[in-house]
């Protein structure tokens, strides 16, 4: 009997493992808890669907519309329990919080439970990730109907309440429809905060009815194509046809669209620096009289010396000493506060070059009058004036971590981008903080081998982004709202380029702000990312495969020979290379240890393989480039 029982258990276990392999679960971000079962919930021509509560009607509508589109299966609404049930709990489950959910998939049906509608919405995203990858595409109905969902129980809730992505729509204008697509893409991975960078030197993107010149002038510039910061100054009579802006109606539409997807929109007006579009629109707001301003079209106007403080070639700051500035800003923030229901308004405050302020007589007079000891104090004076304006509109002010310099305004919150130091300081001073540090969360940085990527001044690999933790040690979590990834668009002139920079690194950010810290495992994450590549392909969402790029450097040995050093992000990937100018494949030399290059080699070419198939792109590097990567001088 014992032997028979043992055989039965082994057989059942083998069947269970086989079923789990046939019906894998690849959810991003990783839930709090997953229990995989055996079997599936199968497709039917018509499925009964029930949902409770008027506040869930919008979710039900989205679910039925998308479910029909991606599966070809019609959901028939029922008052009583259906094959698929969405239900708000009568008695709250405190373990789920406000955005958590409990999803149970059985062969007989699907149950999704939550305390609040947001939880149902996020559970819905998980259901769609459990569908086969072909459900994401535009296949014919007969193919769509070939679907099933694996038996599984998911209990889930987010680690942080602020799970954001910043979209810079100022450097290059993106249409209302593209912003909606950005929202659709981000909610797949349970982001809930869209930070819109609406103004900068290159464009003013929001209608202010009381100041129409801001968009009549500030939203437009001459067309420039090619490399960023390589452009010529606009000519006086050159047509200014490139750009655009969002009307009040556009903003209301976007806010409503986001609200229906449980996304808040944080508007940013970046001041006092980054203000050339405003200065071009409304003369007399800088501290440098006589300067002719235009909307920057990509030409260089700042210097960033290595090892030294940056400075402006042209004053692009609003003047803290000019009362007209505050009158203009009062009008701006009045309308923005009315358009955006979110509790925060972002005032920028970053990268304020002060070299022109140092020469200004009106700034010197302000310093004497207000007893301001230095330029940081001058900026702090400005920030505090702006905070009062924003507070008078019933909103809270947020700014980049430079607003700490010279003293932080009372009630201000900090978005920490220059590492986490500023955020830590603000949190320890009892101010709310959002972490978005460059070393983990700047998604405009190149993401693989830099010679094969669009030219940017810094890089951020996927594995580094995955190491992001918005909560530093020894910081009170009550003051850490959460984290976000930032996407600046100086280099990004179209929406496909935007998607390429976002994914999959935004998946890493999503998991960092949603999933429990102890549930993050790099090899498992990579496995799930690779499965989501197939989903993105089917959905026609562009992404980068730069995670497969080898990490290539070099050094000199004691004899002065150049030694090739190669690392990788993907654990079970092999790297092969050629030194004879031919294009390598899996039969070529495999990199396994530092390799001394023969003196006559001119170029090294690399390819990577996983499970017998080439992954990623071929990388070609000259020996001259490798020499640049070797520290120090040749012995």
The string of pLDDT tens digits covering residues 431-441 is: 999 999 999 99
What are residue 36's DSSP bridge partners? 152
Q: Is the pLDDT of residue 10 over 50?
A: no
Tens digits of residue pLDDT in 201-215: 999 999 999 999 999
Q: According to the model, what pLDDT value does residue 53 have? A: 77
Q: Are 263 and 188 in contact, with CB atoms under 8 Å apart?
A: no
Phi first, then psi: what are they for 46, rounded to 5°? -135, 135
State yes or no: pLDDT of 549 exceeds 50.
Answer: yes
**What's the rounded Cα separation, in Å, for the pair 502 and 486?**
9
User: Do residues 126 and 103 make contact, with C-beta atoms less than 8 angstroms apart?
Assistant: yes
| 3-class secondary-structure state, position 114 | strand
Q: What is the pLDDT of residue 146?
A: 78
pLDDT for 34 equals 97
pLDDT of residue 23: 67
Q: Kindly report, residue by residue over 318-350, the tens digit of the pLDDT.
A: 999 999 999 999 999 999 999 999 999 999 999
- In percent, how much of the chain has pLDDT > 90? 86
- The answer to whether residue 5 scores a pLDDT higher than 60 is no
**pLDDT(43) > 90:** no
pLDDT of residue 141: 55
pLDDT at position 522: 97
CB-CB neighbours of 423 under 10 Å: 29
Mean pLDDT for 504-527 is: 97
Distance from C-alpha of 261 to C-alpha of 186, rounded to nearest angstrom = 10
Number of neighbours of residue 587 by Cβ within 10 angstroms: 7
List pLDDT tens digits, range 157-199: 999 999 999 999 999 999 999 999 999 999 999 999 999 999 9
In this prediction, residues 84-104 reach a mean pLDDT of 96
Condensed to tens digits (0 to 9), the pLDDT of residues 482-491 reads 999 999 999 9
pLDDT of residue 22: 57
pLDDT for residue 227: 81
High-pLDDT (> 70) share of the chain, %: 95
User: Whole-model pTM above 0.85?
Assistant: yes
Residues in the chain: 635
pLDDT of the residue at 140: 55
Domains of the chain (ranges; CATH) run 2-156 (3.30.379.10), 165-515 (3.20.20.80), 550-629 (2.60.40)
The predicted structure's pLDDT at residue 581: 97
Give the distance, in angstroms, between the CA of residue 409 and the centroid of all CA atoms in the same chain. Answer: 27
Mean pLDDT for 457-473 is 97
Judge whether residue 452 has pLDDT over 70. yes
Among 20-34, 380-394, 500-514, 610-624, where is mean pLDDT lowest? 20-34
Burial tier of 66 (Cβ tally within 10 Å: 0-12, 13-18, 19+): middle
pLDDT for the residue 189: 98
- 137: confidence class by pLDDT, cuts 50, 70, 90: confident
**Quick one: which of 546, 525, 551 has its CA closest to 447?**
546
Going by pLDDT thresholds of 50, 70 and 90, the confidence category of residue 142 is low
DSSP 337: H
Over residues 134-158, the mean pLDDT reads: 82
| CA-wise closest residue to 317 among 402, 441, 221 | 402
User: Across the chain, what does the average pLDDT equal?
Assistant: 93
Lowest mean pLDDT among 121-125, 140-144, 260-264, 620-624: 140-144
pLDDT value at residue 136: 86
Element (H, E) at 251: helix 248-259
Q: Which residue has the higher pLDDT, 633 or 299?
A: 299
Cis peptide before 448 (omega within 30 of 0): no
Q: Is 424 helix (H, G, I), strand (E, B) or coil?
A: helix
Q: Give the Cα separation of 35 and 13 in Å (integer).
A: 15
Report the candidate in 396, 397, 398, 349 with the shortest Cα–Cα distance to residue 376: 349
Cβ within 8 Å of residue 182, ≥6 positions away: 165, 167, 174, 194, 498
Instruction: Say if residue 18's pLDDT is above 50.
Output: no
User: How far from chain centre, in Å, is Cα 111?
Assistant: 31
As a whole number, mean pLDDT of residues 300-317 equals 91
Q: Catalytic positions, please?
A: 351
* 634 vs 562: CA distance, rounded Å: 8
């Amino acid at each position: 009997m014992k032997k028979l029982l043992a055989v039965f258990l082994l057989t059942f276990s083998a069947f269970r493992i086989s079923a789990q392999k046939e019906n894998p679960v690849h959810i991003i971000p990783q839930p709090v808890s997953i229990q995989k079962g055996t079997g599936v919930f199968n497709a039917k021509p018509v499925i009964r669907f029930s949902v409770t509560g008027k506040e869930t009607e919008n979710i039900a509508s989205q679910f039925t519309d998308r479910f029909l589109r991606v599966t070809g299966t019609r959901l028939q609404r029922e008052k009583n329990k259906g094959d698929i049930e969405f239900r708000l709990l009568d008695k709250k489950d405190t373990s789920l919080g406000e955005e958590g959910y409990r999803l149970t998939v059985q062969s007989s049906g699907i149950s999704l439970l939550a305390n609040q509608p947001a939880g149902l919405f996020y559970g819905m995203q998980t259901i769609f990730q459990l569908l086969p990858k072909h459900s994401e595409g535009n296949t014919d109905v007969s193919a769509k109907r070939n679907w099933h969902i694996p038996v599984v129980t998911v209990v889930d809730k987010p680690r942080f309440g602020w799970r954001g992505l910043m979209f810079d729509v100022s450097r290059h204008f993106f249409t209302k429809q593209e912003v909606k697509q950005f929202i659709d893409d981000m909610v797949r991975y349970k982001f809930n905060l869209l930070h819109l960078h609406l103004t900068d030197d290159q464009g003013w993107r929001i209608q202010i009815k009381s100041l129409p010149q801001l968009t009549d002038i500030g939203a437009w510039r001459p067309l420039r194509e090619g490399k960023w910061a390589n452009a010529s100054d606009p000519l006086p009579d050159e047509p200014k046809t490139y750009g655009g802006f969002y009307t009040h109606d556009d903003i209301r539409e976007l806010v409503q669209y986001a609200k229906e997807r449980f996304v808040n929109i944080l508007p940013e007006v970046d001041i006092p620096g980054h203000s050339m579009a405003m200065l071009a629109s409304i003369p007399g707001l800088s501290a440098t009289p006589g300067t002719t301003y235009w909307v920057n079209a990509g030409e260089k106007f700042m210097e960033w010396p290595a090892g030294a403080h940056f400075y402006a070639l042209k004053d692009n700051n609003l003047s803290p000493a000019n009362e007209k500035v505050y009158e203009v800003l009062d009008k701006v923030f009045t309308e923005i506060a009315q358009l955006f229901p979110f509790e925060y308004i972002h005032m920028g405050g970053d990268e304020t070059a002060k070299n022109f302020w140092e020469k200004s007589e009106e700034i010197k007079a302000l310093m004497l009058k207000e007893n301001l000891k230095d330029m940081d104090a001058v900026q702090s004076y400005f920030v505090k004036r702006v905070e009062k304006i924003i507070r008078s509109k019933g909103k809270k002010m947020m700014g980049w971590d430079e607003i700490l310099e010279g003293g932080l305004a009372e009630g201000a919150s900090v978005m920490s981008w220059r590492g986490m130091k500023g955020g830590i300081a603000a949190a320890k001073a009892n101010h709310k903080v959002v972490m978005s540090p460059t070393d983990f969360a700047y998604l405009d940085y190149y993401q693989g081998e830099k010679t094969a990527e669009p030219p940017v001044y810094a890089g951020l690999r996927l594995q580094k982004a995955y190491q992001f933790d918005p909560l530093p040690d020894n910081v009170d979590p009550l003051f850490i709202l959460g984290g976000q990834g930032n996407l600046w668009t100086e280099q990004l002139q179209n929406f496909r380029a935007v998607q390429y920079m976002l994914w999959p690194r935004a998946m890493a950010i999503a998991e960092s702000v949603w999933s429990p810290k102890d549930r993050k495992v790099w090899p498992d994450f990579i496995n799930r990312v690779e499965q989501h590549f197939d989903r993105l392909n089917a959905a026609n969402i562009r992404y980068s495969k730069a995670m497969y790029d080898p990490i290539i450097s070099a050094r000199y040995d004691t004899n002065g020979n150049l030694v090739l050093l190669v690392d990788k992000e993907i654990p079970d990937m092999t790297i092969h290379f050629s030194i004879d100018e031919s294009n390598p494949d899996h039969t070529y030399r495999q990199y396994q240890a530092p390799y001394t290059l023969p003196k006559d080699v001119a170029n090294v070419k690399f390819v990577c393989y996983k499970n017998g198939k080439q992954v990623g792109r071929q990388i070609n590097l000259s020996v001259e480039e490798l020499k640049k990567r070797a520290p120090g001088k040749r012995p």
